[in-house]
Structure 1
Amino acid sequence: MQNFGPASDEPTRLANIVSPMFLGQTGWVQELQDGAKAELLAGADAQDDCAVFRVDGPMEVVLGSDYVRGPKFRLYELGYLSNYDIGYYLAMANLSDIAAMGALPIALLSVIRYPKSLPDTDFTTVIEGIRDACREVNTLNVGGDIGSAERIILSASAMGIVEQGRSLLRGGARPGDRLCVTGPTGIAASAQRYFGIFDSGSTKLPDEREELLISAWRRPRALVRQGRCLSTSGVVTSCQDTSDGLKAGIQSLAVASSVGFMVDESALPIADIVTEVAVLTDCEITSLIMGDSVDFQLVFTVAEEDVPQLSKIFADAGLQFFSIGHATEAHEVSLRRADGTVEALPGTPWRHAT
């Protein structure tokens, strides 16, 4: 991507771009249901070395950190994602981990390293993307680090609070528990397949369908409300997000909980756009749903007898979830096809490099 426009030095960017964007943070409060709260005593607007919170009441503090490849995103290189988009994605990727723990986010710290030639306009849009993503889930980017590097490098750490004893962990599922997910998966993977791999030739989706696909990367959403419903219900036995794909999420719950899972193919929620891409690109749809796809849905377990209670909590909040299988004593993770046959769970999950 070619750079245009002036590129200020770091002190100038701090004074003219960063500081004005974060005025008025200090004094912001986030409060839990039981009255425990966190108050921001010194935010990015204070320009101290660190943000300062006063925390009050029985709570657990949840911390998470994630690195994003910045311009090394394949869809960024192809021109489908902007600097604003990768800033937005960075924030949501980290805030999704907080949501999966059932916590209320209170802060995001961001690290933005960039080549000295990066124009002020591009730098500004990255910061704006981070800020706006935080606003979407009612939290703040309270600072971090900026400075020069050989290329754009983006990393962040998110912080949240949750009622004492209510953090959602991966371990805890028991044989017989229902396996559930908050919504369809495979949309982000479908976007990568369609825009990054598939040679459409004369066959392509309508513009509005293409926009729906790419929005999975441009505007992902950390499911904080869903995570809070799961946490405050007190009945969820394990949980994580699907940032590495639904298959990876299910496998992680299985390993952490020392159980297996039987997934029912006929129960999987399927987005129409995933079906369209699977047909258009000649891809087996269940593999697309299960594989490497950063959809940020929540996959979790709940005892069979507690499903009605949790369903009511979600319905009262205007939300939904889908029961897609159950935990087993055998440690295998399997799929029951619609015709009744059982096989290993399809799809290739994301694996972090070692």
Structure 2
Amino acid sequence: MAQFRMHNPTHRFDVECDMTDHDAATLTTQREFSDTVRGIAVRDGTMYCATGGWTDGGHLYALDRDGTLRWRFDSVAGLAHENGGWIDSSPAVSDETVYVASKDTHVYALERETCAKRWQYQTRGRIASSPAVADGTVYVGSDDAHVYALDATDGTQQWSVRTGNMVKSSPAIVDNTVYVVSDDDMLYALDSETGSERWSLAVGGGQSSPTVVDGTVYVCGYDPDDARSLESMSGALYAVDAVCGDLQWKFQAADIIVTSPSVVGDTVFVSDLSGFVYAVSAKTGTQQWRLSTGDTIVAPPLVRSGTVYIGSKGHGVYAVSADDGGLLWRLETDDAVATVAPGEGRLYVGSYGCRLSAIMATPSDE
């Protein structure tokens, strides 16, 4: 038995529960790779799995639901490239094309069924930003400090905008506006057609990608008002008006937040590096509950049908009630979890130990 402490504005209580409730869900290894599973996308029964590391460079795999290989794409430089050539982001999948970016400085467009290369575009820096596709355009950030807009059909550059530092955040595109965070600690709102800046706001940190819901941009980072050193300063969740860039509220977390927020209904779910998971009111920024896992968390919370799923570096996947933060179950994994993704009645878990696994949840979790 393990003890968790949760907090909300009205009362505190401890919850004791079975940490390995295997009656609730089962974990099955789908496939093993040579490097870390960095990103997963699922569409029409096919898993697109990006891997990368110093062992074998960068690859994108197309797999059937049972893990059977359909095809494999190798980044152009692989280990021969000075940056390792690995893929450190998630692919974007459209009707006929898979878009993926690599630390070999390229963005690739691949035919979904055959993996034939439609086009490639080279930036001047490594890419850890996941591409986003909207209205025939691919948007992506690069370590060369630029945000790029590329024609989705042929890869022609439509525009690029320079920020003050590397762009590892993945863009969000809503209402003809591109929202993206740079390592210069600024959140930018750019015109999606021209790249012209609509507004910018200091938010601290550049690894979290923004989430835009109902006219509000939610983004995480560290708290620049915290006077402590970067190693000990707290994290922050910001709510920003999507049109004018005004700060609506700021929520302070116990530690730096590197994951992206998940917004469902009137609640924002985030997690920090100290292992806390938070539910925060989307309207006011008031904490609704907090759960301490005791594990480092780098994968964004995934919310489905009233359950929050969290993958941790402590070799576990947690299922938590979205209503009150109560722990429903925890599954042990063989390795630290790098990413968790939804997929047609399953959860897919990518690990630093080079495994892709599937969680088969009970009907109540689906």
Shorter-chain TM-score: what band?
A: under 0.3
Find the structure with the greater CA-based Rg: 1
More helix by share: 1
More strand by share: 2
Q: TM-score, normalised by structure 2?
A: 0.23
